[in-house]
Structure 1
Amino acid sequence: MTYCVGLALRAGFVLLSDTRTNAGLDNIATYRKMFTFEDPGDRVIAIMTAGSLSITQTVMSRLDDANSDPDSADAILRAPTMLKVAEIIGRMLSDVTAEVSAKMDRMSQGASASMIVAGQRSGGPMRLFLVYPEGNFIEATEDTPFLQIGEHKYGKPILDRVITMDTSLEDAEKAVLLSMDSTLRSNLSVGMPLDMVVIEADAMAVSRRRRIEADDKGFARISQEWSEALREAFQKIKPV
């Protein structure tokens, strides 16, 4: 399994994913789940994936091929809008899911995947989508400016409480890291290292990119401080 979270704020995007993939307790591996596409000055697109590797890797390979083919109608780096980008990825994800599922069904197995797509094209708004296995999608809004895929339930409470469209990028980075920390503590199927990408509004390029390893001192510090703050707050609350 995995955990990926994306925030769409007035100041920009903050995206975070883990890298653990497992097919049972004795078959754990590390795979990148964060992918970025850039045409600096024109557009920037980030994709995070969760679910069957056979599906997500095929989709990402087909997207790469389409971008390299000048005649392809599926090139997300040439799509006129971010809505069209989401439609292309949704259709491709649906097609690949159907292909893989047909093979898996013969062995009484199943496979599915979902994706978070964030990006901005020059002259257009920032948009954040969650694309489902069937190819349909939803979009982040001012009421709910974040989207999650994978093991999302453990990291959602802090986002519900602190994230608004006006949250600063600095606070947003802290929030997604604490959201991931809560997930790491509660679910063994999510694991280090982590990939974080920050895209400032109207930058049309990735502003910051960071790989967070298991021995990262900064991540360890905020994890410890968060635990201490929760314990202190708990002790201060009076019983009902």
Structure 2
Amino acid sequence: MTYCVGLMLDKGLVLMSDTRTNSGVDNISVFRKLVHWEVPGERIVAVMTAGNLATTQAVISQLEERTKTPDERRNSVFDAPTMFQVATEIGRLLQETIEDRQEVNGQNGQGRFTATMIVAGQIKGMEPRLFLIYPEGNFIEASWDTPFFQIGETKYGRPILIRAYDRTMSFEDAVKLLMVSFDSTLKANLSVGMPLDVMVIEREAYAPRHEQRITQEDEYFQMVSAGWGDSLRQAFNALPDFTFAKGK
């Protein structure tokens, strides 16, 4: 399992993912699930992945190869004229990869190789865009009515996003918000784990404004985690007391 979030802001996009992969409690490892490509001054495309690791890495490897090797097909990352077409091509690759693996494995492969992806980025002259790609290859796009996407283990970190998200917030506050969301998920589900990868994509920059790997020893993350826990306890203690008194 994993947890990834992409946020749309007035200022741009903020992405965060965990890095844990596991095949049982005795086989846990770290693997990067947030990758990006950029053409300075022209475009930036980032992808976050959740699901079967072999499936997601096959898709990422195909995209990576196209950035390095001449190909008769158009390079979806560097040549597609819109982010919509970037998302369409990545969705097609995801669907084909899942179908190939299920075909090779027959009935035993049904449902084992599924994956979902978040695609984010901006091409010069257009707005920053954020997409959620399903295993079937189809996708939906974020809007101001649906301004963030989550994939993986989503339920534990969602309430804080719904309550505290504001499209006008600063990048710094957005990263802090995601840290709280991830901290809640980390404490509730052992299949999501540190370190965390974060990327900030500023509007019209076409390169990461900020990239960071947040480890368990990160002092700021520790302060956010402890402070959030203390604040929850204080808020709980400040609520009116429940009583068993009759008629109340």
**TM-score range relative to shorter protein:** over 0.9
CA RMSD of aligned residues (A): 1.3
- Do the aligned partners of 2:4 and 2:48 also contact (CA within 8 Å) in 1? yes
Counterpart residue number, 2:15:
15
> In the TM superposition, what whole-angstrom CA distance separates every residue of 1:116-155 from its partner, at most 9, and x where no partner exists?
0000000001100010111000111101211000001000
| Structure ID, larger Rg | 2
1:108–1:66 distance in 2 versus 1, CA, 3 Å: closer
- Once residues 239 and 203 of structure 1 are traced to their aligned partners in structure 2, the CA distance between those partners, rounded to angstroms, is 51
Counterpart residue number, 1:140:
142
- Once residues 34 and 185 of structure 1 are traced to their aligned partners in structure 2, the CA distance between those partners, rounded to angstroms, is 22
**Greater Cα offset, 103-112 or 211-220:** 103-112
- Do the aligned partners of 1:19 and 1:32 also contact (CA within 8 Å) in 2? yes
Counterpart residue number, 2:4:
4
- Once residues 139 and 99 of structure 2 are traced to their aligned partners in structure 1, the CA distance between those partners, rounded to angstroms, is 17
- Do the aligned partners of 1:7 and 1:13 also contact (CA within 8 Å) in 2? yes
Q: How does 1:42-191 map to 2 (within 5 A)?
A: 42-68=42-68, 69-107=70-108, 110-191=112-193
> In the TM superposition, what whole-angstrom CA distance separates every residue of 1:158-201 from its partner, at most 9, and x where no partner exists?
00011132222111110111100000000000001110000111
For structure 2, the residue ranges without an aligned partner over 5 or more in a row are 243-248
Letter aligned with residue 75 of structure 1? S
- Once residues 168 and 143 of structure 1 are traced to their aligned partners in structure 2, the CA distance between those partners, rounded to angstroms, is 19
- Once residues 108 and 137 of structure 1 are traced to their aligned partners in structure 2, the CA distance between those partners, rounded to angstroms, is 23
How far the C-alpha of 1:75 sits from its partner, in A, is: 2.8
Letter aligned with residue 211 of structure 2? R
Query: Is it true that 1:194 corresponds to 2:205 in the alignment?
Result: no
> In the TM superposition, what whole-angstrom CA distance separates every residue of 1:183-234 from its partner, at most 9, and x where no partner exists?
0000000001110000111111111000111111110111000000111011
**Greater Cα offset, 100-109 or 7-16:** 100-109
1:160–1:100 distance in 2 versus 1, CA, 3 Å: same
Q: How high is the sequence identity, in percent, across the aligned residues?
A: 50
For structure 1, the residue ranges without an aligned partner over 5 or more in a row are none
* SS state at 2:208 partner: coil
> In the TM superposition, what whole-angstrom CA distance separates every residue of 1:28-73 from its partner, at most 9, and x where no partner exists?
1111000010001000111000010110110001011222325322
1:81–1:146 distance in 2 versus 1, CA, 3 Å: same
* SS state at 1:32 partner: coil
- Do the aligned partners of 1:74 and 1:88 also contact (CA within 8 Å) in 2? no
- Once residues 166 and 72 of structure 2 are traced to their aligned partners in structure 1, the CA distance between those partners, rounded to angstroms, is 41
Q: How does 1:224-239 map to 2 (within 5 A)?
A: 224-239=226-241
Q: Runs (4+) of structure 1 moved beyond 6 Å?
A: none
**TM-score where L is the length of structure 2:** 0.93
- Do the aligned partners of 2:35 and 2:46 also contact (CA within 8 Å) in 1? yes
**TM-score where L is the length of structure 1:** 0.96
Letter aligned with residue 8 of structure 2? A
- Do the aligned partners of 1:104 and 1:111 also contact (CA within 8 Å) in 2? no
